A and B are shown apart, each in its own frame.
Chain A
Amino acid sequence: MRTVKCKKIKRMIHEYIDGALNPDNKDILLNHISQCEICKKYLENMEKIKFYVAKLKVKEPYYIESKIISKIREQENIKERAGIFNMGLTFKPALSFAIASLIIIGSVFLIYNNISENKLSLNLPEKSPEKIIKTEDINKVRDMKISKTESSIKDENVNIAEKKVIKEKTKIIVSENLKTASELKVETDTVMKSNEPKYSLSKVEGISLKMAKEIATPSTTNPLLERDKAIIGNNMINPLKGEYCIIKTKVDESARVRIIIYDKRIKVVANLIDEQKDPGVYEVKWYGRNSVGDILSEGVYFVYIQIGSQVIKKNVIIIK
């Protein structure tokens, strides 16, 4: 009898520790526990289990929210682009219908014209040579033929002259086009060249406005840079949107400055700077590309900054 009761009590214990036991059963349970050591132990164990499991909480990554939002934004952008495309698709049947009807109307018009022209040409011989032969006025016919050939020769000459003019014009246009094409090529080459990832350490007088805003120091000096000797502005970038991070370094004494980007496998992905520098504040922009100019995949990248014998390590996150 007691075991049956204990079995019921055990079930009640779970409801009790979950705060879901009704007051009447709670009294029964507490009364039973005060007398039954086994059930008391069981309650303690179950409370412990519940407590242990409840403690299995991990801290979510600090960047999870921005990762989710950027994914949604990316999806929205794709949808927008697809929307424009779909709009085109919805208009396509109407457009194709219009084009088709135009073609049909056009071809009907042409066919009709051809037929009427044919009719005319078919009528002509009926009217002229045969009738002329019938009237046996051969000379007239000859004269007519001669004048016709003369006029056709004239027409041909005019055509040849016209063709020449057209040819010359085309040559000019072609040469102009070729010129613009070559100019364009030169322009594209220069653009291509300028797009190549070239990094240089430019000296900045004091701190740029962007940086000052980001670290919220309106003055020209930057305590963070003074203290750390290297700071990174905008350390979460989306290279696809052309975002970049600014790596700032402060060189106190003339020293060799090296800035290398490593991935999480500690593999060098970009060697940004390796130069001898005079004292001053320097900055370099990194567009999330490797040394050959390819955009890097999502993840954490380590920025290794060496100023003389001092080494500073920073992180940059690439999101897409």
Chain B
Amino acid sequence: MDEKELIKKIKKGQINLFAEIVNKYKKVVYNHAYSFLRTKEDAEDATQEIFVNIYNNIKKFKGESKLGTWIYRITVNLCKNKLKQIKRLKGKIVEENPEWDEEKEENILEETLKDKDEKKPDNLFVSNEIKNIVFKRMEELTEEQRKVLILRDIDGLSYEEIGKILKLSVSAVKSKIFRARENLRDKLKKDDIF
């Protein structure tokens, strides 16, 4: 069933089909919330809140944009508000050692074993230590820079999609990504990663 049909049916009252949307987008929404809010607990709460919000507003979704873009817009806005709320309540966000998705790593390792000729030795495996450092340094970026980097490199969205979500022009998105990556590289240079 394609998304349009799925939404049509949900709008007509087949709310049990909403589980399909949750199943499809839970990973990206949770990951975005985690990259942004940086604790498991907050990411969990935000993910729940985001999907409840999507569910409550699905009747307002007219299909002008893609469902994914619409979901991202809700995710980005809710995470932004949640971050403000957390900062106000907790002061500074508590850092924790993230549990990185190991399954992905295994797949990549499998891939490297398959394509021995094409492998790039330094690039293909990223240790958890490096991930922790990069994760920590990302917090030092500006909120806008962090947002575009998460949307582009973690979530894999196109410039156009990011522009639609953040209500920015494509050229503005490009220059924000450019600055964000350079800024992150400068910070990581201090950690001797480069």
Query: At the interface, yes or no: B119 with Cβ under 8 Å from chain A?
Result: no
A20 to B, closest residue via Cβ: B159
**Complex formed: what's the CA distance from A52 to B99 in Å?**
15
Where chain B touches its partner, the secondary structure class is helix
- Of A47, A50, A59, chain B has the most CB atoms within 10 Å of the CB of A59
| Shortest Cβ distance from residue B172 to the other chain A in the assembled complex, whole angstroms | 13
- Answer whether residue B44 sits at the interface, using C-beta atoms and an 8 A cutoff: yes
Q: Note all chain B residues with C-beta closer than 8 A to A69.
A: 18-19, 22
Q: In angstroms, how far is the closest chain B Cβ from the Cβ of A24?
A: 17
B27 near A72 (CB under 8 angstroms)? no
CB within 8 A of B184: which of A49, A55, A72, A75? A49
Interface residues on A, range: 20 to 34
Whole-angstrom distance between the Cβ of A271 and the nearest chain B Cβ? 29
Give the shortest distance, in Å, between A13 (CB) and chain B (any CB): 9
Interface string of B79-105 (1 = CB under 8 A from A): 000000000000000000011111110
Number of A-B contacts (CB under 8 A): 116
A interface residues, Cβ below 8 angstroms from B: 10-11, 14-15, 18, 20, 45-61, 64-65, 67-69, 71-72, 75-76
For this complex, 28 residue pairs linking A to B, each with C-beta atoms less than 8 Å apart, are: A14-B174, A14-B177, A18-B152, A18-B177, A45-B194, A46-B185, A52-B126, A52-B130, A53-B134, A53-B184, A54-B153, A55-B100, A55-B131, A55-B134, A56-B100, A56-B131, A57-B154, A58-B34, A58-B40, A58-B99, A58-B100, A59-B103, A60-B27, A65-B22, A68-B51, A72-B15, A72-B18, A76-B15
Interface residues of chain B, those whose CB is within 8 Å of chain A, are 15, 18-19, 22-23, 26-27, 30-31, 34-35, 40, 43-44, 47-48, 51-52, 55, 98-104, 122-123, 126, 130-131, 134-135, 138, 149-150, 152-154, 156, 158-159, 174-175, 177-178, 181, 184-185, 188, 193-194
